[in-house]
Structure 1
Amino acid sequence: MWLTLLYCVIGGAALLFALFSWVIPYIVQYHPGLAIFWHDRIEERVLDTLTQSTRPQRLLAAVQKNATRGDPRSVVLAIDQFCRQKEWAMNVGDEKGCILDSVVSEVNPGAVLELGTYCGYSAVRIACLLPPHGKIITLEFNPDNAAIARQVIAWAGLEEKIQLVVGASGDWIPKIKEQFGVKTFDLVFLDHWKDRYLPDTKLMEECGLLREGSILLADNVICPGTPDYLEYIRNSPRYKSQYFKSHLEYTKVEDGLEKSVFLG
């Protein structure tokens, strides 16, 4: 009897492990709603409980273990490897990151604004492509994420290029000119709360932070999606927009980036 019970327990544990580690992650790779729900609501909470740590803390540990201090590209690679092999995270990711890289290289911006730092992945990715005089201001609402991002940025050796500001975008955008002496931004990367894309874009217009030729690059416009932002940006005579089809970070779910040129 006890042997049978032991076999049942072992078999059940093995089944749960297989479901958690392989079966469910494979299935959610192709389903937009399930992908975000699984990775953000289930997997993260389970691993937080088991490890008594947070996903950003685990990501930072992977950087410190696998990346070379002072080498931004090795930091990006370490995060991508962590997210593909260990644990999904909501960075722009390697696939869409290549699109981001191409836009940064094309614009060659002197002043960049990033809305949504998370753990610093995209800030590092952008900063290492900037010209010598170029700088990026990145806004992060969550102070815990910001604390991790500062360490990731420091590990990449980019503290002089990246100004990390903690607080709500709606509070900071009107104060940017006064606080940082920035007249306008050459490039704005939107990757924060999706319901803030449109109001923050209108706020940047009102505050005069966009000049003729400024580029807005918005992530996750399909998954989880920003329909109100897309409707505005694609129909406004003040913008010329282009969609870059890709996939939700580290999955096979369709997603993309919307590049919009401000026409004045």
Structure 2
Amino acid sequence: MDEYGANVEWHPSYGVEKARIIRSILEKISAEKSEALNIAEFGSYAGYMTVLLGSSLRNNSKMYSVEEDSEYSDISSEIFRTAGLSNCQFLNDSAESAVSTIRDLHDGQLDLVLLDVNTEQYLPTFIQLQKTGLIGKGTTVIANNAIEPGLPDFLIYVRTAPELFSSTLHPCKNGYEDLRDGLEEVNIL
């Protein structure tokens, strides 16, 4: 996907720089947890991050991939299986509905959540995840598009409550463009 996006035709995947940052965050979480990891991604597009996240799963790990667009959800699922991975439940649903579904399917809280939905959905999804108990102390949330197109409401929410969240901006290139962007890493305290 990186080769195609960089040299053939642009597509809205994460790209090498964002993937490196997310891989680093994921390695840190994996090193801190000896047991299985529980991961959810909201917005899979064509499965770029689904494969990256899924390749880190250990036995008994649980992963949920949420994509509202049915065509992209199918593509993401197919690419995941083509990569030889199988430990993911794909949910073709809105972020709001999927949070309730995941709460029904999952006992406990998630270790990592990746948000990559429409920008106006980041904060409501984050708050709903908090209210359902799917995220809490020890959960890491990564929000894509922190700079471009930007997430002002979400960033104000997580950056102005230092007693609740530790928030770090990771500036980076936006996929296969020269446009600058960032990933916001939020650790729940």
- The alignment's TM-score, normalised by the length of structure 2, stands at 0.92
**Larger RCO, structure (CA 8 Å, separation 6 or more):** 2
AA at the equivalent of 1:217: I
Larger radius of gyration, structure 1 or 2?
1
1:171 Cα offset (Å) = 1.1
What percent of counterpart residues are identical? 28
AA at the equivalent of 2:144: D
SS in 2 for 1:131: coil
Higher helix share: 1
Structure 1 stretches (4+) deviating beyond 4 angstroms?
none
Name which of 94, 100, 104 aligns with 2:16.
94
SS in 2 for 1:175: helix
**Aligned equivalent of 1:211:** 136
SS in 1 for 2:139: strand
1:135 Cα offset (Å) = 2.6
SS in 1 for 2:186: strand
Q: Is 1:157 the equivalent of 2:84?
A: yes
Q: Verify the 8 A CA contact 1:245 1:255 in the aligned structure 2.
A: yes
Gaps of 5+ in 1: 1-78
1:167 Cα offset (Å) = 0.5
AA at the equivalent of 2:183: L
Aligned residue runs from structure 1 range 1-264, under 5 A = 79-108=1-30, 110-159=37-86, 161-178=87-104, 180-236=105-161, 237-263=163-189
AA at the equivalent of 1:123: T
How large is the Cα RMSD of the aligned pairs? 1.2
SS in 1 for 2:183: strand
AA at the equivalent of 1:206: K
Distance 1:238 1:175 in 2: 26
Q: Verify the 8 A CA contact 2:50 2:76 in the aligned structure 1.
A: no
SS in 2 for 1:211: coil
AA at the equivalent of 2:82: W
Distance 2:26 2:56 in 1: 7
Q: Verify the 8 A CA contact 1:120 1:153 in the aligned structure 2.
A: yes
Residues 105-158 of structure 1, C-alpha deviations (whole Å, 9 max, x = no match): 110161001000111110101111223332310100000111111211111011
SS in 1 for 2:175: coil
SS in 2 for 1:242: strand
AA at the equivalent of 1:228: D
Please say which of residues 132-141 and 225-234 is displaced more in the overlay. 132-141
Q: Verify the 8 A CA contact 1:92 1:122 in the aligned structure 2.
A: yes
Q: Verify the 8 A CA contact 2:64 2:102 in the aligned structure 1.
A: no
Residues matched between the structures, number? 183
Gaps of 5+ in 2: 31-35
